[in-house]
Amino acid sequence: MKKFIIRFLSVFLLLLGTANVFSQNPKNYSVKSPDAKLNFEIGISETGLYYQVSKNGKLVLAPSLLGLKLKNSEIHKNIEIKEVKYAEADDTWQPIWGEETQIRNQYHQMLVYVQEKTNLKRKFIVNIKVFNDGFGFRYEFPEQKNMKDIVIMDELTEFNFPEDHQAWSIPYQTEFYEGLFKKEPLSKKDTISTPVTIETKSGQFLALHEANLTDYAAMNVYPDKKSSHLKVYLTPWSTGEKVFTKTPFQTPWRTLIIADSAGDLLLSRLMLNLNDPNTIKDASWIKPGRYIGIWWGMHMKKYTWEPGPNHGAKTENVLRYIDFAASHKFAGVLVEGWNIGWEDWKSFEFDKPYPDFDIKKITDYAKQKNVELIGHHETGGNTLKYESQLKDAFKLYRKYGVTTVKTGYVGGLLDGKEQHSGQYGVRHYRKVIETAAQYKIMIDNHEPVMPSGLQRTFPNLMTQEGVRGQEWDAWSKDGGNPAEHTTIIPFTRGLAGPIDFTPGTFNFTNTALPDTKVHTTLAKQLALSVIMYSPLQMASDMIENYENNPAFEFITSCPVNWSKTVVPNAKIGEYVTIARKDKDSENWYLGSITNADSRQLNVPLNFLNKNVKYKAKIFKDGKDADFEKNPYPVEILEMEVNSDTVLPISLARSGGTAVILVKL
C-alpha cells in the first residue's frame, strides 16, 4: 500500500505540474522525461497538428507536422484535441538474451485524443512516450463507425531539425541495405533509410529510426526542399499504395535517441522498450552460440553451392567441419547448398536434400559430438513458394534436431515485384518468424527488412543481416569494405539490432578475386567478435585457416551472450572500444578497433569489480602490422589489472586489440 500511495502522489504531482503549462497555452500540451531534461510538446497550428522537442531548453526538433495521407483524404487539419491523458512507468525486464541481463523501462507517457471537427469526425490517438534518452510516438486508430478499411498513401510525419546537422545514412533503395554509410549534411541527402545517425553542431548525437514494425511499411525519410526538414516516405507496394489496413490499428513507433556521446547511442534500449514483451512462454530452447560454416570456402571458389565434384555440402566435408567444431567447442556448423534448387535458383525444395548430403547421418554424428547442424533456406526471393513449403521444411528440421535456420532472399524484388521493406515483405518475415517459433526454431534472417526490435517479442529472431557484411570482402569488385566501415556500422545499422556481420577471417589472400580482400589486421578481426553484437555469430573463415594459429583462442573463448556492456571510448568513423561481461561467468571481453589511421588509446578499466584482480590476456597488433602491407602479426601478452588500471592500447592502421579479462 505504501508503494501504491507514493506512485499515486508522483502521478498527481506530474499532472499538477503540466496543468500550469496548459493554463498558459490551452492548445499546447507537453510531457517531460523522468529526469525532466527532455520536453515533448504537441499542439495545433494553422498548418495542422504538430510537435516539437527540446532538451535542457534547446530545440532538438523544431515544429514538425503529424498526420496521415489516406487514399482520398488527409488527417491533420480541421481537427481538435478532445482529451489528454498521462501515465508513467518504471520497471525492469529481463531479455532472454542480449547485451545485458536487465533493461530498465522508465518513461512518462502522454495520450493525445484527436478528432476531426466536421465531415466524418474520425478519431485517432497520438501515443507519446518520453524516456531520459529519447522518445517514441505512434498513431493509434480505434475501431469507429466512419473509418473501417483504410489505404494509407503516406505519413505526413516530419522531423524538422533546427540546424543542418551532419548525418550518416544509406540511400533508401540500397539493395538489402548493404551499403556504405555516408556522412554529409542532412540537406544533401536524398531519400534515405533509417536508422539515420546524426551529430549536431552542439555535440549531441541523435538516431532516428522506428520500433515495432508490424504489418506496415518501413519508414524512410527525405529532406524537404534540400533542407534539414525531414519528411517520411513509406516503402510502397508495387501498385503505389503504402499500407492496407483496417481499424483498430496502430503504426510503428517513430523514435529518436538523444544522447550526449556517441557511446551512449550504443547503450540506449529505447527501441526494445517500445516493442511488446516476449510472447514465447517456454524459451528454454533458445540458445545463443558461436558457429562455423562451409560458406567462406564457397566464396573462395573452393566449394560450390550446387552439386558437382566440389560440392561444399557433401556429407564427408560436413562431417569434417563437425569434428573441428566439436574440438573447439563451437555450437554448430552452417551448411548452405544442401537442398535441391541451387542449379537454377528457381526450384528450391526445402525438404529435399541432394543425394550426396545425408542429413540423418550428419545430424546423428553432430549430436554425438554435441554440435548442431545449422540449416539454410535460400528462397531466391520467392516468398509464395517458401510459404507453401514452410511447415514441411521446419518439420524436417525438427525431425533431425536442427534448431537454427538461416533464411535468405537474394534475387531483387520479392516474387518479382515487391520490395523487402514494404508491407508485403514485413508480413512475410513475420509469418516466417512466428511459424519458426511454433516449431522451436531460431532464425538468422538475411536480406531482411531493417530490424526494429522485434527480437524482444520473438526472441527466436536471433540476428539479421541488412548490412554490408564481411562477405563483401570476398566477392565485391570494388575491393571490399573500407577500413572505416566497421567503425561506423555499430553506430548506424547496429542501433537497429544484432548484426550478422560474420567476422573472423584469418587468411586475407583472395583466391577468387585477388584485388578484393579484408581491409583489416588479424587483430581487428578478433576485436570485431566483441564490437559486432550478435547472439548467433559465425567465425567466417575456412577451418584450415584457423589451425595452429594462437590468435584463434580469442574467438573460441569469446561468448556471444552478455550481462553488461560499456563503451569506454568512441568516435564514429574513427574508433570504438566496447567491453562486455560474460553472462555465464565473471569474465569480461574487450574489443577496440580503428579506421585507416593508427592511434593510441587509453582505456580505463573502471567497469571491473572493485578490489578484485584480473588476468588480462591481450591480443594486439604485432610489430609492423598494417592492414595493407602486413595484416597478420599478432602479439599475445598477459598482465594483472584491476579497476584502477588504465590500459594503453596501440592500434595499427585498421587494426585492433582484443582482451580477455579473467577474474582471479
Domain count for the chain, please give it. 3
- Mean pLDDT across 190-202: 97
The strand pair at 536-538 and 38-45 is best described as: unpaired
478 and 346 in one domain? Answer: no
Same domain, 589 and 480: yes
Amino acid 25: pLDDT: 43
Each residue of 543-582: pLDDT tens digit? 999 999 999 999 999 999 999 999 999 999 999 999 999 9
Which grid cell sits at 165? 546537422
* Share of the chain residues as helix, strand and coil, in percent rounded to the nearest 5: 20, 35, 45
* Interstrand relation of 599-604 and 614-621 (parallel, antiparallel or unpaired): unpaired
DSSP state of 409: -
Instruction: For 370-401, write each residue's pLDDT tens digit.
Output: 999 999 999 999 999 999 999 999 999 999 99
Question: Are residues 348 and 202 located together in one domain of the fold?
Answer: no
- Rounded distance between C-alpha atoms, residue 432 and residue 447, angstroms: 14
Angle at 486 between CA 198 and CA 199, to 5 degrees: 10
- Answer yes or no: do 343 and 392 share one domain: yes
Confidence of residue 248 (pLDDT cuts 50, 70, 90): very high
pLDDT beyond 60 at 317: yes
Q: What is the mean pLDDT of residues 147-153?
A: 96
Give yes or no: residues 420 and 485 share one domain: no
Give the DSSP H/E element, type plus range, for residue 159. strand 158-160
pLDDT (mean) for 615-636: 98
Q: Which of 508, 513, 510, 505 is nearest to 477 (CA)?
A: 513
Q: 532: number of CA atoms within 13 Å, CB side?
A: 31
Alpha-carbon gap, residue 351 to 391, rounded angstroms: 10
Residue 110 lies in a domain: yes
| Structure confidence at residue 504 (pLDDT) | 98
What is the reported pLDDT for 3?
Answer: 33
CB-based contacts of 332, cutoff 8 Å, min separation 6: 289, 291, 292, 325, 366, 371, 372, 373, 374, 404
Higher-confidence residue: 97 or 24?
A: 97
Q: How far apart are CA 17 and CA 197, in angstroms?
A: 33
Classify residue 227 by its DSSP letter: S
Q: How confident is the model at residue 9 (pLDDT cuts 50, 70, 90)?
A: very low
Give the position of cell 556500422. 489
Same-domain pairing of 269 and 280: no
Domain boundary among 273, 299, 321: 273
Tell me, yes or no, whether 480 lies in a domain.
yes
Element containing residue 437 per DSSP (H, E): helix 423-438
Give the per-residue pLDDT at 7.
37
At residue 563, the pLDDT reads: 98
**How many Cβ atoms from other residues are within 10 Å of residue 607's Cβ?**
18
The predicted structure's pLDDT at residue 118: 85
Q: What pLDDT digit, counting tens, does each position of 85-103 carry?
A: 999 999 999 999 999 999 9
Listed residue (554, 551, 562) closest to 635, CA to CA: 551
Residue 145 is given by DSSP the state T
> Is a pLDDT exceeding 90 seen at residue 1?
no
Q: What span, in angstroms and rounded, lies between the C-alpha atoms of 266 and 502?
A: 20
Say if strands 372-378 and 404-408 run parallel, antiparallel, or are unpaired: parallel
| CB neighbours of residue 151 within 10 Å | 13
Residue 134 in any domain: the answer is yes
Has residue 278 got a pLDDT over 70?
A: yes
Q: Has residue 17 been placed in a domain?
A: no
Task: Give the chain's length.
Answer: 664
- Least Cα distance to 579 among 591, 569, 593, 570 occurs for 591
pLDDT in tens, 458-481: 999 999 999 999 999 999 999 999
The more confidently predicted of residues 413 and 77 is: 413
248 upstream amide cis, omega within 30 of 0:
yes
Q: What does the pLDDT read at residue 19?
A: 35
Whole-number average pLDDT of the chain: 95
Q: How far apart are CA 560 and CA 330, in angstroms?
A: 11
Residue 15's pLDDT band, with cuts at 50, 70 and 90, is very low
pLDDT at 119: 80
Q: Tell me, what's the pLDDT at 4?
A: 28
From first CA to last CA, the distance across the chain in angstroms is 45
| 196-199/158-160 β-pairing | unpaired
Average pLDDT over residues 179-184: 98
- Of 273, 288, 321, which closes a domain? 273
Domain boundaries, position 547: 472-494+517-664
Say whether pLDDT at 21 is over 80. Answer: no
pLDDT at 11: 36
pLDDT at residue number 570? 98
Beta strand 332-334 pairing with 575-582:
unpaired
* Cα–Cα distance list, 123 to 33, 37, 126, 239 (Å): 27, 31, 10, 28
User: What was the pLDDT predicted at 83?
Assistant: 97
| pLDDT score of 197 | 99
Could you tell me if 290 and 182 lie in one domain?
no
CATH number at residue 110: 2.70.98.10
* Any domain includes 499: no
User: What is the per-residue pLDDT for 641?
Assistant: 98
Is residue 94 a part of any domain in this protein?
yes
Q: Which of 227, 252, 273 is the last residue of a domain?
A: 273
pTM of the model: 0.95
In a domain, 16, yes or no: no
Answer yes or no: is pLDDT of 2 > 80.
no
Collapsed DSSP state (helix, strand, coil) of residue 507: coil
On whether residue 75 sits in a domain, the answer given is yes
What CATH number corresponds to the domain at position 623? 3.20.20.70
Same domain for 540 and 569, yes or no, is yes
Number of helical H runs and strand E runs in the chain: 11, 37
**393 lies in the same domain as 439:** yes
Residues with catalytic roles: 471
| Amino acid, res. 207 | A
Q: For residues 619, 624, 628 and 629, what is the CA-based torsion angle, rounded to 10 degrees?
A: -130
Helix (H) or strand (E) holding 590: strand 588-594
In a shared domain, residues 300 and 429? yes
Is residue 14 pLDDT above 80, yes or no?
no
24 pLDDT band, cuts 50/70/90, is very low
Proportion of the chain above pLDDT 90, given as a percent? 94
Q: In one letter, which amino acid is 554? A: F
Give the pLDDT mean for 202-223.
Answer: 98
Quick: pLDDT tens for 573-615: 999 999 999 999 999 999 999 999 999 999 999 999 999 999 9
| 251 and 300 assigned to the same domain | no
Same domain, residue pair 36 and 122: yes
Question: What is the rounded CA–CA span in Å between residue 486 and residue 180?
Answer: 10
Q: Quick check: bond before 503 cis, omega within 30?
A: no
